[in-house]
Structures are given as C-alpha cells and as structure tokens.
C-alpha cells in the first residue's frame, strides 16, 4: 500500500536589489489579484509542472515586471514553508536573491497591478505574505556577502572606479568608509579587482582609473563591516 503524498504548491519569490538614487532598493509589485489584492509584495509565483526553479524565477520576473535578460547575480536564498504563510493553502516558496546595477523602471504585467523600486528600509511594513522576513533575510545575505566575496561589483557597471565600488559598500552597509583605507584594502586583496583600460571623470575631479572584477571568489582578508569583529578600519 502506497503512502499518501501530501499536496503542496511550489512557488518562487524574488528579492531584486539594486542601488538607485544613493539608496538600496528592492523591486516590489502591487498585487492585482487575491489574496492581498492591492498590497505590495515581492515578485514571484507558482512553478509550472515542466520548469525548474531558476527558470520559474526568471519567467516570473519578466511576466510581473517587464524586466528580462538583464545582467545580474542570481542565487537561491532560502526555502520558506511555514504552514499558513499563504491563505490559499500549503505553499512552499524558494526565494532567490538577485543583485544588479542601476536597473530601468519596471512595467507591471501578468497578475501585478503595478511595479516599482522601493527603498528596502521602507518596505517591510508594506509587504504581503511573509515577504518582510524574506526581504530581511535577503538584505542581510547581501550585506554579509559583501564582506567576504567580490559581490559588490554586481551592483556596478562592467568597469567601475574604486570610488564607485566604495559607494556600493556605503549604501548597502549604511556606513561611511574612509576613501584611502578602502582603496588600499580593495587593491591589495588578490583577485578582487583588476585594472581595466582607460580612465573616467564621472566621479568628478581628476581622471580615475577604471577597474573590472577579478577572478577571485573569496576575499582574503575579508572587508569587515565597521563595528564588527575583525574590523580594523
């Protein structure tokens, strides 16, 4: 006799982070259908029977926001399955974190009534489902990974200045960093950044060297957030 297999829906939710207007922002959609019709939520939806999770995440992003084929870092964040998290029934959600440079304004589609970038600090009280927890987990994951991986470059253009990279750290961490110390740490960390051809004056002042992200995947030593254990500022 075969055991009964409990039925549950499988969904994906996406936390898309970018730096706009000197602020860490996430993509939000206003739900056009129940439950929570009219409330803000993270982009996402149910996984179709014939698709894998990453394909579902990319499809939902394109359908609900009009954003597709943009350059971004995409990784699985966590799985959320607390009973009652979705009033429609038992739903297990696999959340994804994406980091990307300044992205265009999204256009709502599918079951979204609107889509826009919102400052992460203002979103928590606005989100439906358990999306405040998913957003908080994603932001902390991003902040932590900036300490020990070159992931900050995912917020930058393909070539960037050290000042632009420092700006990313300051916005994501919400701190001020000493320019000289930051430059020294970044350029002395093997595999973090490599010089690119040319200079730019877009930072203002004298021409600044352009860099691109290097081949390293772990920062040794890590760049610790100010005030944390191991920070030498």
- What digits encode the pLDDT tens for the residues 22-46? 999 999 999 999 999 999 999 999 9
- What digits encode the pLDDT tens for the residues 160-176? 999 999 999 999 999 99
Name residue 205's beta-bridge partners: none
pLDDT confidence of residue 53? 96
Name every residue whose Cβ is closer than 8 Å to that of residue 42 and which is 6 or more positions away in sequence. Answer: 13, 14, 15, 26, 27, 28, 29, 95, 127, 131, 134, 135
Structure tokens at 162: 């050290």
9-145 folds as Nucleoside Triphosphate Pyrophosphohydrolase (3.90.79)
Rounded to the nearest 5°, which phi and psi values hold at 122?
-105, 0
Distance CA 100, CA 60 (A): 17
- What digits encode the pLDDT tens for the residues 86-125? 999 999 999 999 998 878 788 776 677 788 999 999 998 8
- What digits encode the pLDDT tens for the residues 42-77? 999 999 999 999 999 988 888 877 777 777 888 999
CATH of domain 149-213: 1.10.10.10
State the pLDDT confidence band at 233, using cuts at 50, 70 and 90: very low
pLDDT confidence of residue 113? 79
pLDDT confidence of residue 232? 53
Domain segments of the chain: what residues?
A: 9-145, 149-213
Name every residue whose Cβ is closer than 8 Å to that of residue 10 and which is 6 or more positions away in sequence. Answer: 46, 47, 53, 91, 92, 93, 94
Examine the pLDDT at 190 and tell me if it is beyond 90: yes
pLDDT confidence of residue 181? 96
* Residue, of 103 and 217, whose pLDDT is higher: 217
- The H or E element containing residue 108 is none
Q: Mean pLDDT throughout 126-151?
A: 97
Examine the pLDDT at 142 and tell me if it is beyond 70: yes
pLDDT confidence of residue 110? 64
């Amino acid at each position: 006799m075969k055991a009964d297999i409990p039925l549950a829906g499988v969904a994906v939710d996406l936390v898309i982070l970018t730096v706009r207007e000197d602020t860490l922002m996430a993509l939000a959609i206003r739900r056009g259908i129940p439950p929570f019709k009219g409330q803000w939520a993270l982009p996402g939806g149910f996984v179709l029977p014939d698709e894998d999770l990453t394909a579902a995440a990319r499809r939902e992003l394109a359908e609900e926001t009009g954003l597709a084929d943009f350059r971004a870092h995409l990784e699985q964040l966590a799985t959320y399955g607390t009973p009652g998290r979705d009033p429609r029934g038992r739903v297990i959600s696999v959340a994804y974190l994406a980091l990307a440079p300044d992205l265009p304004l999204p256009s709502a589609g599918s079951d979204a009534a609107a889509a826009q970038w919102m400052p992460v600090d203002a979103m928590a009280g606005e989100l439906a489902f358990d999306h405040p927890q998913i957003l908080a987990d994603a932001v902390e994951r991003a902040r932590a990974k900036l300490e020990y991986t070159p992931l900050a470059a995912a917020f930058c253009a393909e070539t960037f200045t050290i000042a632009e990279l420092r700006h990313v750290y300051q916005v994501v961490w919400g701190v001020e960093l000493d320019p000289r110390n930051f430059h020294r740490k970044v350029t002395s960390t093997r595999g973090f950044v490599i010089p690119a051809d040319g200079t730019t004056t877009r930072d203002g002042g004298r021409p600044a060297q352009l860099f691109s992200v290097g081949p390293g995947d772990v920062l040794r030593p890590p760049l610790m957030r100010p005030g944390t254990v191991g920070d030498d500022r």
